[in-house]
A and B are shown apart, each in its own frame.
Chain A
Amino acid sequence: MSTVTAKPEASREAASEKDKWLRAYRQMVRIRLFEEQVNELYTRALMPGLAHLYSGEEAVAVGICEALRIDDYITSTHRGHGHCLAKGASPDRMFAELLGKEAGYCRGKGGSMHIADPATGNLGANAIVGGSVGIATGAAFASKRLGNGRVAVCFFGEGALGQGSLYEVMNLAQLWKLPVIYVCENNLYNEYTHYSETTAGTILGRAAAFGIETAAADGQDVRAVNEVATRLVKRARAGEGPAFLQADTYRYSGHHVGDINREYYRSKTEEQRWKTDRDPIKLQSNWLIEQRYADAAALEQITMEARAEMEAAVKFAVTAPYPSVDQVDEDIYA
């Protein structure tokens, strides 16, 4: 349908490539800086409850969500801030939710582990490990039945591999050829236990047993994740059925912010090695500079903008009012 010659087409593609990977970089930086603010809020006792940081794993959420449409579905986990932001949630309403404020995504009733947002297809973060596998698969079932072309992505950590319901729904998803992608973020630790102590066999072997399409990606490489995700989303949307993606990654912080002394389950050397050699933001920034898509100053500008955005969002949340107490029994029933 286009009458333009090949050359401008190619340069437009290059421009869109550049925009795409700069955008991915920006998204990862936004997540990292969001989590830095969470850590700050939590350690200053401004944030009630629990805080599970996504720092170190940004390339997974961003690589996947950049392959999705806004109306595609995701389900998230207790470590869900990255998924929510990557799918398009705005940080001000997220921080408001983290602080239990009425302006939050759940009007303060969900908190950090339950952010949900219909506008961005976020069916909700879930504080039961593996708790959302049914919901994601059910959303895929509805998409297929209604013919709306939506794909559902189910994020979970490798700790959820111990939950039997995952295998029940994978069996069904394959039988019914549902457009669902199971994304296993293998950050190596089930809370405080290395996954090798809890996981017999292989991770991909589990999905392969059902005949589900499997793929692995370096979870620190946003381009690698995105490339695989794009292929899996395309085939799911085309009616070719579910897929299972293993993304190997690393959780920089403890299981939650209060998990400070971690040496009984992993060494500081190991943590430092990932941060130095395998940081997804550094890897992407090096690549962008190599490709001449950006220089250091341009990337620093992105960071500064993201930092300002997060600071403003925190300010909004801190000053936002709590819900009035009479809202406590609202929305129990629709």
Chain B
Amino acid sequence: MPERELTFAQAVREALAEEMRRDSSVCIFGEDVAEAGTPFKVLSGLVEEFGAERVLDTPISEAGFTGIGVGAAMTGLRPVVDIMFGDFLTLTMDQMVNQAAKAHYMSGGHWKVPMVLRTTLGATRRSAAQHSQSLHAWFSHVPGLKVVLPSTPYDAKGLLKTAIRDENPVVFFEDKMMYKLKGQVPADDYTIPLGVADVKREGDDITLVATSSMVQVALGAAVLLEKEGISAEVVDPRTTWPLDEKTILDSVKKTSRVIVMDEGYGRYGVAAELAAVIAEGAFYDLDAPVKRMGAMHVPIPFSPPLEDVTVPTEETVYKAAKEMCAKS
């Protein structure tokens, strides 16, 4: 299997291009997805290869074109709908929550909605409160949706190909700060199943369960911890629904300490849910209470020194882990 180094953005584009070559029902629409290739340039070159009939620029109408995606998915296409900033997901909520998520169940299994909603998450881009949120917990809360959070170029390609082939609505979150991250990616066709976590680093003393942008933070913290003689295991669920509880619980049972890290808000969020899963499934194996680390419960501020304290960093995770390991 030939591997090359690709950026996260290139891996996403390669997944889309391969799926569009493989299946003529796959099409893309969203704001500035064609010639512009999105503001992040993730889609550059696709309209040139696949034409304006399959890569369509839309008006700035997130609710409208997401709804069109739902209907097109029900009737024979596999749309990949592009929502530029995850903050704009608020405008798609009725279509995703009341329509896409429920069409299959509500019709007694008759209709299917094989669509992907690709969007972004993540702060620290100096974009302020309406371009920095991580709202994947909202979609993880809704039965009928699947939620994917790739953290490496390899995962991005394999998971996106699976998401496109899935028969259900899948919301696919890309950390916009990660588009330039490089990693080894096979040049050929491979997929990664949804609902299978990945142990990104093995360790014995503490588990860091981390999603999306937080995986790189956890890996950085693990390096700092290693210098203190603390061996951290990093578990990346890769999808919040379906959720691979077993891999998470197996790790926690082994290490007996755990921090859950997610860039969404910690309260009522993905970190809260992961903490609850661990409390229910591994309580008697724990030597310390589960710790949540997520975005601070504030709207994301613009000013750099303010924004920087709203999200967990290698340093804050390192300190929290060290303290947790010292206590017991």
- Chain A interface (Cβ < 8 Å from any Cβ of B): 73, 75, 104-110, 114, 116-118, 123-124, 126, 128, 131-143, 145-146, 148, 150, 152, 164-165, 168-169, 171-172, 175-176, 330-334
Contacts and interface: CB of A to CB of B under 8 A. Distances in A.
Given A105-B110, A137-B68, A138-B71, 9 more contacts: A75-B71, A106-B110, A114-B106, A142-B75, A145-B77, A168-B63, A168-B67, A331-B108, A332-B144
Contact of B70 (A108, A134, A143, A176): A134
Interface in B158-172: 167-168
Interface stretch (B92-100, B124-132, B254-262, B317-325): B92-100
A243 B234 CA distance: 56
Given A128-B98, A334-B104, A334-B168, A134 B111 contact: no
B59 interface: yes
B71 A142 contact: yes
Interface in B26-62: 27, 53, 56, 58-59, 61
Interface residues of B, number: 44
B55 to A, nearest CB: 12
Given A165-B64, A171-B64, A172-B64, A139 B74 contact: yes
Interface of B: 25, 27, 53, 56, 58-59, 61, 63-77, 79, 94-95, 98-99, 103-114, 143-144, 146, 167-168
A171 to B, nearest CB: 6
Contact of A117 (B63, B95, B110): B110
28 contacts: A73-B75, A109-B107, A110-B106, A116-B107, A118-B111, A124-B107, A128-B98, A128-B99, A131-B99, A133-B67, A134-B64, A137-B64, A138-B69, A139-B71, A141-B72, A141-B77, A142-B75, A142-B77, A145-B27, A146-B77, A150-B75, A165-B67, A168-B61, A168-B67, A171-B61, A171-B64, A172-B58, A332-B143
Nearest to A152: B71
A181 to B, nearest CB: 14
A142 B72 contact: yes
A272 B111 CA distance: 41
